[in-house]
A and B are shown apart, each in its own frame.
Chain A
Amino acid sequence: MNSELIASRYSSRRVAANVCLPDPSIDKPWTLESYRANGGYQALEKVLSGSIPHTDIIDTLKLSNIRGRGGAGFPVGVKWSFMPRAADGQKYVVCNSDEGEPGTCKDRDIMRLNPHALIEGMTLGGYVMGATVGYNYIRGEFWEPYQSVEQAIKEAREAGFLGKNLFGSGFDFDLHNYLGSGAYICGEETALLNSLEGKKGEPRFKPPFPAAFGLYGKPTTINNTESFASVPAILRANGDWMDGEWFKNLGVENAGGVKVFSVTGHVERPGNYEINMGTPFSELLKMAGGVWKGRKLKAVIPGGSSVPVMPAENILKSNMDYDSLQQNGSSVGAGSVIIMDETTDMVAVLERLSYFYHEESCGQCTPCREGTGWLYRILKRINSGRGTMEDLDTLLDVANRIEGRTICALGDAAAWPVQSFLKHYRHEFEAKINAGITHSYPTANAA
């Protein structure tokens, strides 16, 4: 790994609290030595050598109010309590590091910079849920993070933090990385399980849920990289061992702790920002250096391409937490904040987003397989000046007919941007239609 390159990128990061992303002052934070020096593996050691009941850990997580960081925001403590810990047979913990949501790059940095936090978090998860094997499913394009976690796993094994009879507790846990092949849909947890089993990456119909019928049909819990990596710090609680209140109080009601937001787009300093839940958006924007080139803010997609777009006036009155963003018409999602300045062509943006979902639909369910292509083609037509006013109604209708009608949420994710872009920026679509083909606009994709 090119540590100089990492260090140079890392220095541009502005971090408000250090749970998943390490303090920038730490030298080579990805090494076991650095991680240990800053409290790493203390939580695992205390839990295992002290035989702390798994229910206590679940209680701490529940109290800490940490919600799943992958996008759905399901409380982690509650999810872990679903696992039939006492059931006979193999159980698995799986980490979803298939970070593919356009705009998101937080898990990549966690794996590059703080891989041991992920390993410790997953091992704790294994202990709590009675799983002895964990898999970390990493996005196919993440070769560098993959190597980072591979190296960390090697170090952890050699140091006795992974393997048999950890800390003399009798608890065995081993962890394996698995590199995907670059399909967005494999970030959907059941498609991920199919892919991990060597099958085609298609989401499974639920129920049964993975906690009952998961990897190879065994009870399985799947969490996002950031969720797992947060667990050791939550247990350490900055010195107040196992006090969930510490993490909870970093955030706001209904959303505990800190969260990494990936700020991209038209800002001066794009990057990952680990900030307190509930931080006003305007402060996050300031941390990122504000809108670039002195331009005005036009719109923000606050949680990755699947969540509704927010016009400037809505996002500027929002705080970065679940309730506030929802009140103002969007959602935290995976925390991928895409900033768009006043020059942004919203029709072109939506065409590009729709192309993505069209390209990434697995093709299993009719509405998504057929509908995403339809949406994209209409948008391509409108963006090239060949649209009609009826097309706008059709667009909305098609999106409505995809939403809520498919096995997984990819269909919803394809529908929501269309609905929200048309809600807030219909005039731009109409303008393009009225202008006709005399105006040539650069299209996002020539496919």
Chain B
Amino acid sequence: MSSIKIEVDGRELEAQAGEMLICVTDRNDIYIPRFCYHDKLSVAANCRMCLVEVERAPKPLPACATPVMDGMKVYTRSELAIEAQKGTMEFLLINHPLDCPVCDQGGECPLQDQALGYGKDDSRFEEQKRSVPSNDIGPLIATEMTRCIHCTRCVRFGEEVAGVMEMGAPGRGENVKISTFLNRSIDSEVSGNIIDLCPVGALTSKPFRFSARSWELRNHNSISPHDCLGTNISIQTLRNEVERVLPVENSDINECWLADRDRFSYEAVNCERRLTHPMIREKGKWKEVDWETALAFAAGGLTTVIESGSAADVGGLAASTCTLEEFYLLQKLMRGLGSCNVDHRLQQSDFRDDAVAPSFPGSEAAIADYSNFASVMLVGSNIRKEQPLLSLRIREGWAAGKTQISAINPVQYDLNFELTNCELAAGPNLVSRFASLARAIASETSKSLPEGISKLADASNLDAAARQMLEAADNGALILGAASQQHADASLIKAIAHWIGDATGNRIAVLAPANSAAGWIANCLPGSEGKNVTQMLSEGLRAFILLGTEPELDSIDGKSALTAMENAEFVVQISSFTSESVNAYADVLLPMAAFAEAAGTFINCEGRDQTSKVAVSPKGEARPAWKILRVMGNFLDLNGFEHITLDDVMEEISASVNLGSISASSRLKDWKIGNRTPSEKGLFRIADMPMYRGDVTLRHASALQATADNPAPCALINPKTIESLSVKDGDNVIVKNGSGSAALTLKVDSAIAPDCVHISAGFPETIRLGGHVMVTLEKA
């Protein structure tokens, strides 16, 4: 590419030879109208709105598809250009309904805006306007296809960015209809982006429909709490209600996209199950009380437990979606009481490497690097559902032919890219297969493989995957996903990953749920003196403080969690929502501000800290969790709880952590290979956390709960495995593990690893089953 000069409307501009004219004019703030062009999508050149006059060209040319040449002279506002743009606008409007007053896009509609600039007051069109039927395409997106102007942005987004061809343009001429195929629904986990892309009101947000006008809304820049990317969002509010969430462009993180999880979770804020008043249980009955009473009751209950035993009888559990400040104050409160039993890692079960762990689980590569890797190795990762936007980055590199991706996964996940090598291995086999990969790397590089790892390896041949990683060296990534981190031998997997990272030069990423990085940095961890979450839940404690979590649903091992809560003498629940199971075991409910109602700091997998601001005031009597913890500290007569503002909390944290300069490393400080967790006989239960069940906010977001990504729990089994059992496809079965059981429908799915049953956690139906355990099946 060589630098050239072109002239646009008399201005001389620098450009790169071959780039499209519209890129040059956009860069120089010269406005050219457009509908089909979008800088993240391929050029379609079909809307013909960006026609401009180019010297010596016989007809107007589309700026989006005209490569610049040295000395080119362009006129964007000449008579020819304006006439061409006006012509296109007239054609666009003849069949477009004049229903702006009832159209949700009104006020933020590129067609409306550009019609003002290039349209006429009245129409010469006297024929009948076209009407197009609108099909129901799911709970997230409303359709009004008569308004469609056929720009095909939504079609191209699906094909090119999301990697699923859900929308198409069947038909010819006037009968082209943008629609899903065969009336299917749109099920992509990033589908909401087509709402933003649609330049008219054909595709609008279903949950937001008819609730506000764009000009009435106030923007509040914030951070989405649901994954470890720290997606930048704008929370839009009207009269102290959250109305919708839109992306804020950040080229380092989410570009201009948003996962549906980040876009539609706000519905929980306005849901009916919000906890709005402090409540205490008196003689088995719930009673609304004021804050003073509730806090005194909570402090009194905790004090009673401590006085009749010790502070170590109390445990604190925080949801991974909490903010840095909340994590910090909870652990400060616990340590102030004299207990180190504090943790936020509800989905994890192996903590043997805590002492040598890096400062937080994260990605050694920047998020933006993920679209340029030569190799990506996924280990126990359904990245498309766990970190949807990171998956789009990987897909981008794959689609451009840069990236080869391989995986060792318990399930053949439906990813949005193809895998070069895929090993299907769950439970103990996942560790063996990963160790075999290390062995293959050792033999390719003639490095000596530590004995601990070689003992774990099985007979599988992973030479191809090993070569893929070695060729990429530091331009490759090794991703440990949810299944690796939740694994009973997660510490073994991390140790092997450490060795492989050193041997290949690949960059390691441990993509932990939500704001886990902040939980680590705030030391919301038991350290060597306290009990970790598994110990707290399986051994039980006399009292718990729960911060934004429903442990029986947030933990993979719901059975232990529920048993621990039921057996505890005193449970303080700080939450934004009420739930029947929590009501059954808690003793005091303290209403906390929900998503969008409180400020706080999020730290993403790169170690980047970002702050979200308050968008609306909390519902009812709810208060920001940091204030609740701070005042609880006062009620418990603890020192150091004098913060007036959130900044005071942040200042205190900053004294020990320099937030601006944390960098992510996933290398262990020291490592050794521990022993395998002994496994029992039976079928191994693969327990995943479905993407819309992972935190309490998501579980209350009604539209997300109705999507295809949130099916009712069932037992999935490999067709080969079912042959050896006395049950068949479609049977209602009882899945048992010791005393735990769940009644589910059995379905055959060849994507599941053999000798396993896939049963999702995060649902009331499966709480009683326990975590990644061996189970048996019998006909109901």
Chain B residues near A200 (CB-CB < 8 A):
169
CB atoms of B59 and A366 under 8 A apart = no
CB atoms of A370 and B91 under 8 A apart = yes
A241 at the interface (CB under 8 A from B): no
CA distance A372 to B176 in the complex (A): 14
Q: Which residue, of A370, A377, A381, has the highest number of chain B Cβ atoms within 10 A? A: A370
Residues of A in contact with B, size category: 20 to 34
A139 shortest CB reach to chain B, Å = 16
Given known contacts A371-B91, A401-B87, A401-B90, A366 and B173 CB-to-CB distance under 8 angstroms: no
Which stretch, A166-174, A231-239, A261-269, A353-361, touches the partner chain B? A353-361
Task: Tell me which of A205, A359, A378, A406 contacts B173 (CB under 8 A).
Answer: A359
A434 shortest CB reach to chain B, Å = 19
B356 at the interface (CB under 8 A from A): no
A47 at the interface (CB under 8 A from B): no
Chain B residues near A358 (CB-CB < 8 A):
173-174
CB atoms of B173 and A362 under 8 A apart = yes
Beta-carbon contacts under 8 Å, B75-120 to A: 84, 87-88, 90-92, 94-95
CB atoms of A366 and B150 under 8 A apart = yes
Given known contacts A405-B48, A405-B60, A407-B46, A366 and B176 CB-to-CB distance under 8 angstroms: no
CB atoms of B45 and A369 under 8 A apart = no
A326 shortest CB reach to chain B, Å = 15
Given known contacts A369-B150, A401-B87, A401-B90, A363 and B175 CB-to-CB distance under 8 angstroms: yes
Beta-carbon contacts under 8 Å, A175-215 to B: 183, 185, 200, 205, 207
Q: Which residue, of A360, A369, A406, has the highest number of chain B Cβ atoms within 10 A? A: A369
B49 at the interface (CB under 8 A from A): yes
The number of A-B residue pairs with CB atoms under 8 Å apart is: 92
CA distance A73 to B554 in the complex (A): 71
CA distance A248 to B60 in the complex (A): 36
A281 at the interface (CB under 8 A from B): no
B272 at the interface (CB under 8 A from A): no
Nearest chain-B residue to A201 (Cβ)?
B172
A364 at the interface (CB under 8 A from B): yes
Given known contacts A183-B172, A360-B173, A361-B172, A366 and B91 CB-to-CB distance under 8 angstroms: yes
CB atoms of B125 and A405 under 8 A apart = no
A185 shortest CB reach to chain B, Å = 8
Chain A residues near B176 (CB-CB < 8 A):
362-364, 369
A90 at the interface (CB under 8 A from B): no
Chain B residues near A369 (CB-CB < 8 A):
91, 150, 173-174, 176
Given known contacts A365-B46, A367-B48, A405 and B84 CB-to-CB distance under 8 angstroms: yes
Chain B residues near A405 (CB-CB < 8 A):
48, 51, 59-60, 84, 87-88
CB atoms of B91 and A367 under 8 A apart = yes
At the interface, is chain B mostly helix, strand, loop or mixed?
loop
B20 shortest CB reach to chain A, Å = 11
CA distance A183 to B176 in the complex (A): 14
B681 at the interface (CB under 8 A from A): no
Chain B residues near A10 (CB-CB < 8 A):
none
Chain B residues near A390 (CB-CB < 8 A):
124
Chain A residues near B60 (CB-CB < 8 A):
404-405
A292 at the interface (CB under 8 A from B): no
B43 at the interface (CB under 8 A from A): yes
Chain B residues near A372 (CB-CB < 8 A):
173-174
The contact sample of 17 A-B pairs, CB cut-off 8 A, is A205-B43, A207-B67, A358-B174, A359-B173, A363-B150, A363-B169, A363-B174, A363-B176, A364-B46, A364-B150, A365-B46, A367-B48, A370-B95, A373-B174, A390-B124, A401-B91, A405-B84
**Which positions in A face B, CB cutoff 8 Å?**
183, 185, 200, 205, 207, 358-367, 369-374, 377-378, 381, 390, 394, 397, 401, 404-407
Task: Contacts A364-B46, A373-B174 known; list 14 others, CB within 8 Å.
Answer: A358-B174, A360-B172, A360-B173, A366-B47, A366-B91, A367-B88, A369-B176, A370-B92, A372-B173, A394-B124, A397-B124, A401-B87, A404-B58, A405-B51
